[in-house]
């Protein structure tokens, strides 16, 4: 199979990347490391690539649709912009079609027009399904009148369903993701396997033994509504009532930064919270190794990378049971699950986790699980198996 694949050229389609390297660019780089050795050439259709340290090299050809990552407060402008981007991507796909002899991989579930175009061009289309954007929309735009939120959410939902229908195959990050994104019974038949990413063991590993760490918990991620960051901030006063010596470290950035600052002032907890910006990815293990607990209070996730990276560093994770999280974390075995993300529930579960009598064992179980399951070799093998299924289905 390797000889056959090495002669094929594939295409990968993604959203416009953010203006500085973030989690999505890391996912993309990780995927390129897995797929690059398998194919002759990879045509990458995306934007803002150089800002994310992604450059043309060896068998990677960049096709930039020249549209920056943007956040709109106006729902209707956002819809128009999404359609405009999809048209630009479809045009690049038409322009490159004769050079693509293998599958077209679509990263993200709302690229309906490119999925339709790929189908019309008779290319095998593989949707790598992640967290549902329609669900994200309901949480991101809570400050906007409900009718506008619903219009945008319905619009994205239609795009997602169209993308599911016109894709030949669906790759999900873990089994529970296919249930969480509600792909439907018919489309579930298209699911050919999981397409998770690997964790770089030489970067993400335990540096500080769990027993030697200070009483510090943390949140690392985008400051946006779907991540549940506001609920986490509101939980901190409750947490401090029974853990007054605890320090909370919050790393990231995003549209809710101003609201977070106001809440910290309102609760008068400035001396207990260290609010810092994004961490360079290579420095992330140093921060994770300082935490007693990483909290992921999200409304929606795919297969959370920060969860896997924290576990690899021997840092227990407390998370909501969304997306692929329940496929990885078994409560009180290799991490902790909270039923929902209300401030009271978060606070209660932080206490349960920190004071668990077997917390050291749980931290070690988390580290060993990632070390065994998410190596480059294991993930590459899964991707090869998935691609074999695609090649065998004419």
Q: What is the per-residue pLDDT across 251-307, written as a single tens digit (0 to 9) for each?
A: 999 889 999 999 999 999 999 999 988 888 889 999 999 999 999 999 988 889 999
Three-state DSSP class for 299? coil
**2-198+375-392: which CATH number, 3.40.50.300, 1.10.10.10, 3.40.50.2000, 1.10.287.3610?**
3.40.50.2000
- Return the CATH superfamily for domain 210-373: Glycogen Phosphorylase B; (3.40.50.2000)
DSSP label of 255: T
Sequence-ordered strand ranges (E) for 278-360: 293-296, 317-319, 336-337
DSSP label of 245: T
Closest CA to 153 of 77, 73, 75: 75
DSSP label of 278: P
Closest CA to 275 of 248, 246, 294, 296: 248
Three-state DSSP class for 252? strand
Kindly report the number of other CB atoms within 10 A of residue 200's CB atom. Answer: 18
Cα(220)–Cα(206) distance, rounded to whole angstroms? 18
Topology match between the domains 2-198+375-392 and 210-373: yes
Where along the chain do its domains lie?
2-198+375-392, 210-373
Residue 348 has φ and ψ, to the nearest 5°, of -60, -40
Q: What is the pLDDT along the chain (394 residues), one digit of tens a residue?
A: 556 566 899 999 998 887 655 667 878 888 898 899 889 999 999 988 887 788 788 899 999 988 766 666 677 787 888 899 999 999 999 999 999 999 999 987 789 999 999 999 999 999 886 655 655 555 544 544 555 556 767 888 888 889 888 999 888 877 777 776 666 555 555 777 666 778 888 889 999 999 999 999 999 998 988 899 999 999 999 999 999 999 999 999 988 999 999 999 999 999 999 998 888 888 999 999 999 999 999 998 888 999 999 999 999 999 999 988 999 999 999 999 999 999 999 999 999 999 999 999 999 999 999 999 998 888 888 888 888 888 777 5
Q: What is the per-residue pLDDT across 318-368, written as a single tens digit (0 to 9) for each?
A: 999 998 899 999 999 999 999 999 999 999 999 999 999 999 999 999 999
Kindly report the number of other CB atoms within 10 A of residue 146's CB atom. Answer: 10
Three-state DSSP class for 249? strand
Report residue 349 as tokens: 């579960």
**Radius of gyration of the chain measured on its C-alpha atoms:** 21
Q: What is the DSSP string of 55-123?
A: --BTTEEEEE--------SSHHHHHHHHHHHHHHHHHHHHHHGGG--S-EEEESTT-HHHHHHHHHTT-
The pLDDT score that the predictor gives to residue 149 is 56
């Amino acid at each position: 199979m390797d000889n056959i694949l090495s002669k094929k050229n594939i295409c990968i389609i993604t959203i416009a990347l953010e203006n500085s390297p973030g989690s999505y660019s890391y996912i993309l780089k990780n995927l390129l490391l897995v797929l690059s050795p398998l194919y002759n050439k990879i045509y990458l259709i995306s934007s803002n690539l150089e800002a994310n340290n992604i450059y043309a090299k060896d068998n990677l050809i960049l096709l930039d649709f020249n549209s920056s990552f943007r956040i709109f407060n106006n729902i209707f402008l956002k819809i128009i912009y999404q359609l405009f981007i999809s048209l630009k991507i479809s045009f690049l796909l038409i322009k490159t079609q004769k050079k693509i002899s293998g599958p077209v991989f679509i990263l993200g579930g709302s690229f309906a027009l490119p999925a339709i175009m790929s189908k019309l061009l008779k290319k095998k289309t593989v949707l790598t399904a992640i967290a549902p954007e329609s669900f994200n929309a309901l949480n991101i735009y809570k400050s906007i009148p409900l009718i506008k939120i619903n219009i945008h959410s319905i619009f994205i939902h239609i795009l997602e369903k169209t993308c599911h229908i016109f894709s030949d195959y669906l790759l999900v990050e873990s089994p529970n993701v296919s249930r969480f994104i509600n792909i439907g019974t018919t489309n579930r038949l298209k699911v050919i396997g999981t397409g998770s990413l690997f964790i770089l063991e030489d970067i993400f590993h335990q540096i500080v033994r769990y027993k030697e760490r200070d009483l510090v918990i943390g949140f690392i991620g985008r400051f946006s509504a779907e991540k549940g960051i506001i609920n986490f901030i509101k939980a901190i006063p409750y947490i401090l009532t029974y853990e007054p010596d605890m320090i909370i470290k919050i790393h990231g950035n995003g549209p809710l930064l101003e609201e977070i600052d106001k809440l910290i002032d309102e609760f008068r907890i400035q001396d207990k919270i260290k609010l810092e910006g994004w961490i360079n990815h290579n420095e992330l293990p140093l921060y994770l190794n300082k935490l007693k607990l990483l909290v992921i209070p999200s409304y929606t996730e795919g297969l959370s990378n920060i969860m896997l990276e924290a576990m690899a560093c021997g840092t227990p994770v407390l998370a909501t049971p969304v997306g692929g999280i329940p496929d990885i974390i078994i409560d009180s075995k290799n991490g902790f699950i909270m039923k929902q993300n209300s401030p009271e529930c978060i606070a209660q579960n932080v206490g349960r986790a920190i004071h668990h009598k077997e917390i050291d064992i749980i931290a070690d179980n988390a580290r060993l699980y990632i070390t065994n399951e998410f190596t480059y070799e294991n993930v590459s093998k899964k991707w090869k198996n998935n691609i074999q299924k695609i090649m065998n289905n004419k």
